Amino acid sequence: MYCLLWKTLNHKVKPLSTPKGNWKKNDLFNACMKFGLYDVNINDLKATMWPRLKMYVATNIVPVVVDMARERGHDVIYTPPNYYHIWAIVKGRVGCAYTAETTFEQVYERLETAFWNLDAVCAFLFLFAVNQKIRASDDADEPASDHVEDDVVSSSNKDEESNTDE
């Protein structure tokens, strides 16, 4: 089962125990030893230790939300970059109609209408990108990376630019 996450800051928060660049030199050294980075020496400068540790953290320590999802048996996939483009279209259509007297029920109806009226090409590109990530995840037998091929993103931008000219 897959868990689709947005690329928002709260979905990227690492555990509190994750080493940070503002830690003291001894703490960074201890973290290096804890994670098996034995090529670091206690006499090395903090500026030498941190880049090595930072690379390890980026590749091996997953965000809290991802860890929680995996503990429950989910594979995590982040939304592709063109998702934000889709959300911007929907939010723009709904937000332009907002007044001080607008009710939550009206906002819900407008959101639903905006999603149902999305351009078919825009929706296709989003679903295509998500399916690519799922296939890549299945092929690699591990969760997919955060990146989607550039041609999908660039074709989405070209299509939307041509739609705005009409």
pLDDT at 112 over 60: yes
Please indicate, yes or no, whether residues 83 and 129 belong to a single structural domain of this protein: yes
Please indicate, yes or no, whether residues 44 and 115 belong to a single structural domain of this protein: no
pLDDT digits (tens, 9 = 90+) for 28-50: 999 999 999 999 999 999 999 99
Eight-state DSSP code of residue 133? H
Q: Please report the pLDDT score of residue 82 as a whole number.
A: 59
* Domain final residue, candidates 74, 99, 115: 74
pLDDT digits (tens, 9 = 90+) for 139-155: 765 544 444 433 333 34
* Domain final residue, candidates 74, 104, 137: 74
Please indicate, yes or no, whether residues 17 and 58 belong to a single structural domain of this protein: yes
Please indicate, yes or no, whether residues 57 and 110 belong to a single structural domain of this protein: no
Please indicate, yes or no, whether residues 34 and 9 belong to a single structural domain of this protein: yes
**Mean pLDDT of the region 4-23:** 84
**Exposure letters 63-74 (e unless 16+ CB within 10 A, then b):** bbbbeebeeeeb
Average pLDDT for the chain:
77
Please indicate, yes or no, whether residues 156 and 132 belong to a single structural domain of this protein: yes
pLDDT bin (cut points 50, 70, 90) of residue 162 is: very low
Structure tokens at 103: 């009710």
CA 165 from centroid of its chain's CA atoms: 30
pLDDT digits (tens, 9 = 90+) for 48-102: 999 999 999 999 999 998 899 889 888 887 776 656 667 777 777 787 888 888 8
Q: What is the rounded distance in angstroms from the CA atom of residue 62 to the CA atom of residue 29?
A: 21
Please indicate, yes or no, whether residues 131 and 153 belong to a single structural domain of this protein: yes
* Domain final residue, candidates 74, 97, 122: 74
Please indicate, yes or no, whether residues 94 and 128 belong to a single structural domain of this protein: yes
Residue in this structure with the two tokens 């679903």, named with its chain if needed: 127
- 10 Å CB burial of residue 12 (0-12, 13-18, 19+) is middle
Helix (H, G, I), strand (E, B) or coil at 77: strand
Q: What is the rounded distance in angstroms from the CA atom of residue 85 to the CA atom of residue 122?
A: 9
More confident residue, 24 or 79: 24
Please indicate, yes or no, whether residues 39 and 54 belong to a single structural domain of this protein: yes
Please indicate, yes or no, whether residues 87 and 66 belong to a single structural domain of this protein: no
Domain that holds residue 119: 79-164
Please indicate, yes or no, whether residues 58 and 94 belong to a single structural domain of this protein: no
Q: What is the rounded distance in angstroms from the CA atom of residue 20 to the CA atom of residue 57?
A: 9
Please indicate, yes or no, whether residues 38 and 102 belong to a single structural domain of this protein: no
The tally of domains found in the chain comes to 2
